Structure 1
Amino acid sequence: MMRQRVLDLLFLIGVVVKGIDGLVELIGGAALLILSPQAIQHLAFRLTAEELAEDPNDFLANLIVRGATHLAPQAAGFLAAYLLLHGVIKLAIVLALLRGSRRIYPWAIGALALFLIFQVYELFVSPSVMIVVLTVLDALIIALTWREWHEGRTLRETARGTIDWVLRRSV
C-alpha cells in the first residue's frame, strides 16, 4: 500500500512538472521566434548577472548563459519549433489528464516515447548530463503513466486518494 501511494505521488508530481515544463517550453519557443539570438544573449546575461555575481559557479545560471551564447541563428528556428511543439503536446496531455480522460494515457505514453527517442538520439550526438537527467525522468514518467493506465484510474481519482493519504500521514 505504501509503495502504491508513493508511486501515485510521484505520478502526480510528474504531471505537475510536465505542465510547468510545457509552459516554460512554450514561452522559450515564443521568445526564440520573436527575439534575435543577440537579444536572447543580452536577456540571459541580464537575468543571471546578479546570481553569477553572488556565485560564479551557479549551475543553472551558467547553463542559461552558455546556452544563449552558443545559440546559432540557423538553429534558432528549429529549436523554436521543437520547443513550441513539445510545450503544446505536454500541456495538451496535462489538460486532458486534468479533465479526467483515461483515453489520453496511451497518447501520452506514445508522445513521451517519441520525445524520449529523440533525447536518446541527442545523447549519442551531443551527450550531456542534462539530457541524461531529462531522459531518465521522462522514462520514469512513461512508466508511471503506463501504471496509471493499467490501474484504470483517472488523474482526479489518483489525486484524491493520494492527497487524502498525504494529509492523514502529516497529521
Structure 2
Amino acid sequence: MKPPARPSRASLLHWLFETSLAIKGLLCSAEFLAGFGLLVTPNAPIARLIYWLTHFQIAETPTDTLAAWTQRAMEGFPVATQDFYGWYLALHGGLKLAMVVMLWARILWAYPAAMAVLAGFVIYQIFEFQHSGSPFLLLLAFFDLLMIGLIWQEYKALKVKRAAKAATT
C-alpha cells in the first residue's frame, strides 16, 4: 500500500495563506462591529453593562483586580473617548476587512497594497509596544509579519499563474 503523498511546499503555503486570511477576516469583522457598536450605543448602557458584568465577581471576590480595573476604566470612559475608539475600531477593522476581501478576490494590485498596509500596522504596533510594553502588540506584529510573508508568496504564485495563462491564450 502506497503512503499518502505529502503536500507540496506551495500547497502548504497556500493553505496557511487561506487560513490566516480567514482568521484575519474574522478578527477584523469583530473589530469593525465593535467599533460600529460603540458609535451607535450611548455611553450609559455600556457603563451599565460593564457594571452588571463585573459586580457579581467583585461581590464574590473583592480582591479581583481585573473586575475592579474594568469598573474603574469604565468610570473614566467619557463619550469623547467612546467616539474615538468607535471610529478607530470601525475604520481600522473596515480597512483590514476590505483588504481581506480584495485578497480573497485575487485582485492583483491588492497584494502589494495589503503588504504596505500591514507593514504600517507593524511599525505602529512596535512603536506602541515601546510605550506600553504590552506583549499583545508584539503578538499582533508577529502575526502581521507572518501575513506579509504569506501574501508575498501568494502574490508571486498568482503572478506566475497569470503569466502562464496569458502565454497560452
TM-score (norm 1): 0.69
Q: CA separation of 1:43/1:100 partners in 2, compared to 1, >3 Å: closer, same or farther? A: same
Give the superposition deviation at 1:3.
3.6
Q: Partners of 2:152 and 2:72 in 1: how far apart?
A: 36
Q: Partners of 2:72 and 2:10 in 1: how far apart?
A: 42
> In the alignment, is the contact (CA less than 8 A) between 1:44 and 1:68 conserved in 2?
no
> In the alignment, is the contact (CA less than 8 A) between 2:36 and 2:90 conserved in 1?
yes
Give the superposition deviation at 1:142.
1.2
Corresponding residue for residue 118 of structure 1: 124
Does residue 151 (structure 1) correspond to residue 161 (structure 2)? The answer is no
- Give the match's secondary structure for 1:80: helix
Q: Partners of 1:96 and 1:131 in 2: how far apart?
A: 25
Which of 16, 20, 34 pairs up with 2:22? 16
> Which protein is bigger by CA-based radius of gyration?
2
Q: CA separation of 1:103/1:32 partners in 2, compared to 1, >3 Å: closer, same or farther? A: same
Q: Partners of 1:45 and 1:150 in 2: how far apart?
A: 51
Which of 78, 88, 91 pairs up with 1:85? 91
Q: Partners of 2:132 and 2:47 in 1: how far apart?
A: 22
TM-score (norm 2): 0.69
Corresponding residue for residue 110 of structure 2: 104
- Give the match's secondary structure for 2:133: coil
Give the superposition deviation at 1:76.
2.4
Give unpaired runs (5+ residues) of structure 2: 1-6, 161-169
Q: RMSD of the alignment, in Å? A: 3.2
How many percent of aligned residue pairs carry the same amino acid? 30
Give unpaired runs (5+ residues) of structure 1: 57-61, 155-171
Q: Partners of 1:153 and 1:39 in 2: how far apart?
A: 51
Q: Which has the higher contact order (CA 8 A, sep 6+)?
A: 1
